[in-house]
Homo-oligomer: A and B are copies of this chain.
Amino acid sequence: MNSSKRSEQFPTADHDHQTCVTHALQEAEDFCLQQGLRLTELRHRVLELIWANHQPVGAYDLLEQLTHEGRKAAPPTIYRSLDFLLENGLIHRITSLNAYVGCNHPGLNHAAQFFICEACGQAAELDDAKIESVIARDAKRLGFTVEKRTVEVAGICAHCKLRPNP
């Protein structure tokens, strides 16, 4: 049985990607309805594209995908949608890639960690409380109030290690 979520671990080649996109969109719609947020057609489409890309994707890639389907779009078009999706926890920004990826746990205020494969470009989203607590401990020792955490680990995923030549 395949998970309908993308990135709690690295997805296998045979996972049902259409289902995971559909599921994520459904969750987002439900979440926005609950919260009284306007998931407009544009925002919905941007979120769908992000999930459909199936890995962290750049703003200008998304922009090109939007214009290729006939929509009038300029950089602010995409950045404003990204801002909305970020603010409401529907996507994450991967700082080290300048790229955006769907969030696996929309609604939960969580600090995610990312493991990013340099071979296939996919990213696994973790939410390891242990990392959080170690950071919190260090912060306490420094007298530092944490606002935002960025934990991104680059390397090679298990699938790519086995693959002959990706």
Chain A contacts to B: CB under 8 angstroms = 9-10, 95-96, 113, 115, 117-118, 124, 126, 128, 130-131, 134-135, 138-139, 142-158, 161
**Chain B residues with CB below 8 A from A96, complex form:** 95, 150
Q: Are A115 and B138 in contact (CB under 8 A)?
A: yes
A144-B115, A144-B156 known; A126-B138 Cβ under 8 A: yes
A131-B131, A134-B131 known; A149-B145 Cβ under 8 A: no
Chain B residue, CB-CB nearest to A115:
B144
Q: Are A142 and B156 in contact (CB under 8 A)?
A: no
**Chain B residues with CB below 8 A from A148, complex form:** 153-155
